[in-house]
């Protein structure tokens, strides 16, 4: 399974970005092959409205099974749920720490959006 | 993920003309070492006081607009049938059959006409709706913007201005960002205050000031942002000032002071100075408001 | 005649000018508050209980039985109001601009439209004035459709005054489009002048005849006058700065009622507007004759 992390960097040491909709990049980590790729989400950073929806579309099309991020707004959450992608909420500082926490099974899935829309 | 703690103070007003920008300019001077962001992108005035020296200019694009290539248009008029925004007009020229053209001011950028043009005579380029700038002022770095005529995406431009201000604050190790917010309670205002450390609402003691303040406080409460209220020109209507202060407390806002009506505010504006840079009587009131805000 | 009252800068006295002018007119007039984000004209008039009408825009509704999840609607929508991943699309009505594109592109004809509430249109009366106000619901950000709906209430043959929102963005354009004349209210300060210039660019682009009202005359300097002189813009009225006017407006009273000595101001404004209208008509007659 592939798993996505919202981030501002391009390595596993990069910080986990707490904003799902306006995260500059996503790291897609393949758990079976221990391999990752980076996708750019900066186009979205400049969106006035619907950044969460667009990020969620990007994630849904990338074929991941779940996303680990800080906070997720209501619109993005609806799209992710419709696409069958689980959302994990995480306060870890880096992508590597978040991945470790995911492997250890200590992350919790969100069952609803945890912030209002327009969260920057 | 912001590393260092950066405090962001957003100045808004609901109703226009309450003195929001004059007050923001004074706060910028009092803060001494802040990053300043002018998010009133529709009618930006802060630069008239702070006289920024522009260092960088960036184009701002938002959405798309439909364009008809006249030479390829057969004049079938299907675009006009599809358009729900009354944005397509007929062009008549002598000795030529009529063609159609898009009125850029009315075009909503939905792309329906582009998609259904049977001869593919339409383009759909990105629309340039304004510009944003990074500048230097006597009070520190400033990010400001200019929205083009009839442009819609001001919420997006506000987000860009705030993002850049934060980037500069992080880069230069500044701890305070002061934001001049847009008037109203719509999308640009929401973009200017979400995630801010504190909002200060500048209001005036009038029926419209009171009415708009009520809507603004509902908004800041909705986003759970600590909110302070200050009544400008309070002595115009003392009774109303008291009523507004009572209502603000009831809505969970903090009172940070009153500013007297002072014609020297306009005099300062004429001299391109912030009120606190002059010996205006109201400068004292503004200093006390700033102290109460606790930045 | 349909007259719009606008200004680049907020708080210059648009509403003050609109309501006092409407009352001064004396005969039947429609007053439209197009500042649908913060309508407050009713605060200045003693109005009858408003008749309310719910206003909505068409948004998509998907028939699940027909939808095969091809995703074409989501790929087409410019506003991210509809998204699909091989299943029934997710719809965000608050993002929808009501363009009808998704319905038109759907190969299965699975999309129809339903009305989504955006706000209210309130109609009330106060003496000679019929007040029509649009009021956007809190959290709704698209003002132009509601403004267009308010303007659709204009009655042929009855004069109308439109109180525009401040600024120069889409809601203002939606208000001004199709009006016969625009009055730009400003104040003689650097902020007032700067925002007036933006507003002048806007009305020129729209090719609507316009003039300027200078409010709070005497508080600043003469740069607004110099600008208007240089650009050949008529000044239709100057309202002196008088603390009593500020106090009256703060209580929600009309200048023409509370300060009779100033009612001649609005009579002058009416006269100047009619003059300007006459001049424009003659000029356009000459233009068309050439």
CB B264 within 8 A of CB C189: no
3-state helix, strand and coil shares in percent for chain B, rounded to the nearest 5:
35, 25, 40
The CB-side HSE value for C255 (13 A sphere, CA atoms) comes to 26
Two tokens at C185?
């209210």
Q: Which residues, including other chains, have CB under 8 Å from residue A42's CB and lie 6 or more apart?
A: A24, A25
Predicted pLDDT at B202: 97
Q: Which residue of B has its CA nearest to C9?
A: B43
Helices of type H across chain B: 20-31, 47-50, 78-82, 112-116, 154-172, 187-193, 207-222, 238-250, 264-270, 282-293
Per-residue pLDDT tens for C18-46? 999 999 999 999 999 999 988 989 999 99
Confirm or reject contact between B154 and chain C (CB < 8 A). Answer: yes
Token look-up 């390829």 returns B72
pLDDT in tens, A15-71: 998 888 878 899 999 999 999 999 988 765 555 567 788 889 889 888 899 999 988
> CB of A112 within 8 Å of any CB in chain C?
no
Q: Please, where in chain C does CATH 3.40.50.300 lie?
A: 2-54+119-289
Does B81 have pLDDT greater than 90? yes
User: Could you say which residues from 8 to 47 on chain B have a Cβ atom under 8 Å away from some Cβ of chain C?
Assistant: 14-18, 21, 42-43, 45
Instruction: Classify residue A94: in a domain, yes or no.
Output: yes
Q: Does C22 touch chain B (CB under 8 A)?
A: no
Token digits for C21? 């002018």
Partner-chain residue, chosen from C99, C101, C195, that has the shortest CB–CB distance to B45: C195
**DSSP one-letter code for A71:** B
Q: Say which of C168, C247, C249 has its CB closest to residue B42.
A: C168
| Maximum pairwise Cα distance, chain C | 72
Nearest residue to B23 via CA among B291, B294, B289, B236: B289
Please report whether residue A59 resides in a domain. Answer: yes
Distance of alpha carbon B102 from alpha carbon B96, whole angstroms: 18
The single-letter DSSP state of residue A94 is: B
Chain A residues with beta carbon closer than 8 angstroms to that of C62: none
Could you count the other beta carbons within 10 Å of the beta carbon of residue B239?
Answer: 10
Residue A77 lies in a domain: yes
ipTM of the complex: 0.87
C partners (3+ CB pairs within 8 A) are: A, B
Indicate whether A18 belongs to any domain: yes
Q: How far is CA B218 from the centre of its chain?
A: 19
Range(s) of the domain holding residue A70: 2-109
How many angstroms away from the CA of B144 is the closest CA of chain A?
Answer: 16
Instruction: Say if CB C83 and CB C69 are below 8 A apart.
Output: no
Residue C211 confidence (pLDDT): 97
Q: Is A89 in contact with A69 (CB distance < 8 Å)?
A: yes
- CA dihedral (B16, B19, B20, B22) in degrees, to 10, reads 140
With cut-offs at 50, 70 and 90, classify the pLDDT of residue C290.
Answer: low
Pairing of strands A108-109, B88-91: unpaired
The verdict on residue A120 lying in a domain is: no
Put simply, the answer to whether C252 touches B206 (Cβ < 8 Å) is: yes
Q: Taking 60 as the threshold, does the pLDDT of residue B193 lie above it? A: yes
CB neighbours of A77 closer than 8 A, spacing ≥ 6? A56, A87, A110, A112, A113
Supply the pLDDT for residue A49: 63
Q: Residue B252 has what pLDDT?
A: 94
The order of strands in the sheet holding C235-240 is C51-62, C111-126, C129-136, C29-33, C160-163, C2-6, C181-186, C210-217, C235-240
Q: Which fold has domain C57-117?
A: Alpha-Beta Plaits (3.30.70)
Residue A45: its pLDDT value, please? 55
What is the number of other CB atoms lying within 10 angstroms of the CB of residue C86? Answer: 12
Say yes or no to pLDDT of B237 above 90. Answer: yes
In the predicted model, what is the mean pLDDT of chain A?
85
Distance from CA of B1 to the nearest CA of A (A): 6
pLDDT attached to residue C1: 92
Residues of chain C numbered 182-221 and touching chain B (CB < 8 Å): 189-191, 194-195, 198, 201-202, 205-206, 219-221
C153 touches chain B (CB under 8 A): no
Half-sphere exposure of C104 (CA within 13 A, CB side): 20
Do the domain assignments include residue A82? yes
Is residue C231 over pLDDT 70? yes
Mean per-residue pLDDT, B99-115: 92
Model pLDDT, residue A17: 86
What three-state secondary structure class fits C211?
strand
Quote the CA–CA distance of A117 and A76 in Å, as a whole number. 9
Pairs of CB atoms within 8 A across A/B: 39
Q: Find the CB nearest C11 among B15, B190, B237.
A: B15
Cross-chain Cβ contact A8/B1 below 8 Å? yes
Residues of chain C found within 8 Å of residue B215, distances taken between Cβ atoms: 38, 138
Q: Are B34 and B194 in contact (CB under 8 A)?
A: no
**pLDDT one-digit tens code per residue, B46-58:** 999 999 999 999 9
In a domain, A81, yes or no: yes
Instruction: Report residue C140's pLDDT band, with 50, 70 and 90 as the boundaries.
Output: confident
Question: In this structure, are strands C181-186 and A35-40 parallel, antiparallel, or unpaired?
Answer: unpaired
Cβ-defined contact of B223 to A118 (cutoff 8 Å)? yes
Q: Share the mean pLDDT of chain B.
A: 92
Domains and CATH numbers, chain B: 7-61+138-293 (3.40.50.300), 66-124 (3.30.70.20)
pLDDT category, A117, cuts 50, 70, 90?
low
User: What pLDDT digit, counting tens, does each position of C43-98 carry?
Assistant: 999 999 999 999 999 999 999 999 999 999 999 999 889 998 777 899 988 788 89
Compute the average pLDDT of residues B194-202.
91
CA–CA distance, C57 with C134 (Å, rounded to integer): 14
DSSP element (H, E) containing A3: strand A2-7
Q: Is pLDDT above 60 for C210?
A: yes
| Residue B4 pLDDT class (50, 70, 90 cuts) | low
What pLDDT was estimated at residue B1?
Answer: 40
Residues B114-165 pLDDT 10s: 999 999 999 999 888 899 999 999 999 999 999 887 676 677 889 889 999 9
Report d(CA A6, CA A23) in Å as an integer. Answer: 6
Q: Residues of C with CB below 8 A from A56's CB?
A: 83
- Which ranges in chain C are annotated with CATH 3.30.70.20? 57-117
The predicted pLDDT at position B82 comes to 95
In chain A, which residue's Cα lies nearest the Cα of C141?
A49
The predicted model gives B272-283 an average pLDDT of: 96
- The shortest CB-CB distance from C95 to any of A49, A57, A61 is to A49
Q: Which residues of C touch B191 (CB under 8 A)?
A: none
Please state the rounded mean pLDDT for residues A100-107. Answer: 90
Does B1 contact A15 at a Cβ distance shorter than 8 Å?
yes
Q: In the Cβ-directed half-sphere of B116, how many Cα atoms lie within 13 Å?
A: 19
Q: What is the pLDDT of residue B113?
A: 97
d(CA B199, CA C258): 36
Say whether A53 and C80 touch across the interface (CB within 8 A).
yes
The reply to whether residue B207 touches residue C170, judged by beta carbons under 8 angstroms, is: no
Could you give the CA distance from residue B153 to residue C209 in angstroms, rounded to a whole number?
Answer: 28
Q: What is the pLDDT of residues B28-37, one digit of tens each?
A: 999 999 999 9
pLDDT of C282 above 70:
yes
CA distances from B79 to B73, B86, C105, C172 (A): 10, 10, 14, 25
Residues of A whose CB is below 8 A from C79: 49-50
Q: What's the half-sphere exposure (Cβ side, CA atoms, 13 Å) at C219? A: 28
Which candidate, B228, B246, C91, C230, places its Cα nearest to that of A75? Answer: C91
**Nearest beta carbon to residue A82 from set C81, C87, C95:** C87
* pLDDT score, position B3: 47
Q: How far A79 CA sits from the closest chain C CA (Å)?
A: 7
The predicted structure's pLDDT at residue A90: 86
How far is the first Cα of chain A from the last one, in angstroms, to the nearest whole number? 30
The count of C-alpha atoms lying within 13 angstroms of the C-alpha of C175, restricted to the half-sphere facing its C-beta, is 31
**In this complex, which of B16, B112, B211 lies closest to C9 when CB atoms are compared?**
B16
* Minimal CA separation from A74 to chain C, in Å: 10
Q: What tokens does C191 get?
A: 């902020």
For residue B18, list chain C residues with Cβ-Cβ distance below 8 A. Answer: 11
What is the CA angle A91-A95-A99, rounded to 5?
85
B242 or A75, higher pLDDT:
B242
Whether residue A58 lies within 8 A of chain C, CB to CB, comes out as: no
State how many domains chain A has: 1
Residue B37: per-residue pLDDT: 97
Contacts B187 to A, Cβ<8 Å: 48-49
**CB atoms < 10 A from the CB of C108, how many?**
14
Give the nearest chain B residue to A69 (CA atoms).
Answer: B1
CB contact under 8 A, B223 and A116: yes
Interchain CB distance below 8 Å, C249 and B206 = yes
Compute the distance between CA of residue B184 and CA of residue C11 in angstroms, rounded to an integer: 11
> C2-54+119-289 belongs to which CATH class?
alpha beta
CATH number assigned to the domain comprising residue A43 = 3.30.420.130
Q: If you average pLDDT over residues C219-244, what whole number do you get?
A: 94
């Amino acid at each position: 399974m592939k798993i996505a992390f919202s981030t501002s960097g391009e390595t596993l040491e990069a910080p986990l970005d707490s904003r799902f909709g306006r995260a500059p990049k996503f790291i897609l980590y393949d758990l079976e092959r221990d391999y990752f790729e980076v996708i750019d989400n900066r186009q979205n950073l400049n969106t006035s409205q619907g950044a969460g929806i667009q990020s969620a579309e990007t994630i849904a099309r990338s074929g991941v099974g779940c996303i680990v991020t800080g906070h997720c707004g209501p619109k993005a959450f609806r799209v992710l749920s419709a696409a069958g992608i689980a959302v994990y909420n995480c306060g870890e500082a880096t992508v590597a720490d978040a991945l470790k926490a995911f492997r250890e099974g200590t992350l919790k899935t969100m069952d609803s959006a945890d912030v209002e829309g327009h969260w920057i | 993920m912001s590393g260092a703690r950066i405090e962001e103070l957003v100045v808004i007003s609901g109703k226009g003309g309450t003195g929001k920008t004059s007050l923001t300019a004074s706060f910028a001077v009092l803060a001494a070492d802040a990053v300043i962001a002018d998010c009133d992108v529709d009618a930006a005035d802060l630069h008239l006081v702070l006289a920024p020296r522009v260092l960088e200019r960036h184009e701002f694009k938002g959405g798309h607009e439909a364009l008809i290539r006249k030479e390829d248009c057969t004049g079938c008029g299907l675009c006009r049938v599809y358009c729900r925004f009354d944005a397509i007009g007929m062009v008549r020229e002598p000795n030529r059959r009529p063609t159609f053209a898009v009125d850029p001011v009315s075009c909503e950028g939905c792309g329906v006409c582009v998609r259904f043009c049977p001869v593919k005579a339409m383009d759909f380029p990105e629309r340039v709706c304004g510009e944003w700038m990074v500048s230097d002022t006597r009070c520190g770095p400033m990010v400001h913007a200019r929205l083009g005529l009839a442009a819609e995406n001001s919420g997006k431009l506000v987000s860009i201005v705030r993002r850049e201000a934060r980037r500069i604050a992080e880069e230069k190790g500044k701890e305070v960002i002061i934001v001049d917010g847009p008037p109203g309670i719509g999308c640009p205002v929401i973009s200017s205050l979400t995630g801010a450390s504190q909002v200060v609402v500048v209001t005036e003691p009038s029926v419209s000031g009171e009415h708009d303040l009520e809507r603004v406080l509902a908004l800041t409460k909705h986003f759970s942002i600590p909110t302070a209220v200050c009544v400008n020109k309070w002595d115009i209507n003392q009774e109303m000032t008291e009523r507004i202060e009572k209502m603000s407390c009831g809505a969970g806002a903090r009172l940070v002071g009153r500013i007297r009506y002072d014609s020297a505010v306009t005099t300062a504006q004429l001299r391109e100075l912030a009120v606190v840079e002059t010996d205006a009587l109201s400068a004292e009131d503004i200093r006390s408001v700033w102290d109460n805000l606790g930045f | 005649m349909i007259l719009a009252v606008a200004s680049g800068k907020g708080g210059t006295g648009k509403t003050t000018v609109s309501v006092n002018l409407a009352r001064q007119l004396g005969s039947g007039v429609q007053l439209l508050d197009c500042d649908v984000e913060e309508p407050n004209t009713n605060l200045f008039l003693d109005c009858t209980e408003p008749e309310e009408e719910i206003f909505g825009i068409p948004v998509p509704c998907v028939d699940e039985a027909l939808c095969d999840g091809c995703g074409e609607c989501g790929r087409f929508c410019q506003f991210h109001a509809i998204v699909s991943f091989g299943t029934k699309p997710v719809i965000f009505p608050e993002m929808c601009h009501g363009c009808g594109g998704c319905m038109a592109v759907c190969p299965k004809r699975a999309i129809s439209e339903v009305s989504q509430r955006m706000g209210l249109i309130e109609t009330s009366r106060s003496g000679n004035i019929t007040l029509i106000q649009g009021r956007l619901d809190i959290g709704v950000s698209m003002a132009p459709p509601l403004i267009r709906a308010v303007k659709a209430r204009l009655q042929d043959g009855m004069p109308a005054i439109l109180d525009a929102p401040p600024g120069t963005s889409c809601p203002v354009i939606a208000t001004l489009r199709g009006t016969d004349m625009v009055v730009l209210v400003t104040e003689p300060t650097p902020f007032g002048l700067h925002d007036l210039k933006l507003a002048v660019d806007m009305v020129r682009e729209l090719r609507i005849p316009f003039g300027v009202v200078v409010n709070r005359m005497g508080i600043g300097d003469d740069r607004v006058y110099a600008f208007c002189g240089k650009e050949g813009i008529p000044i239709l009225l100057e309202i002196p700065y008088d603390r009593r006017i500020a106090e009256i407006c703060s209580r929600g009273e009309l200048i023409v009622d509370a300060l009779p000595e100033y009612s001649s101001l609005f009579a002058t404004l009416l006269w100047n507007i009619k003059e300007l209208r006459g001049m424009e008509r003659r000029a356009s007659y000459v233009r068309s004759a050439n």
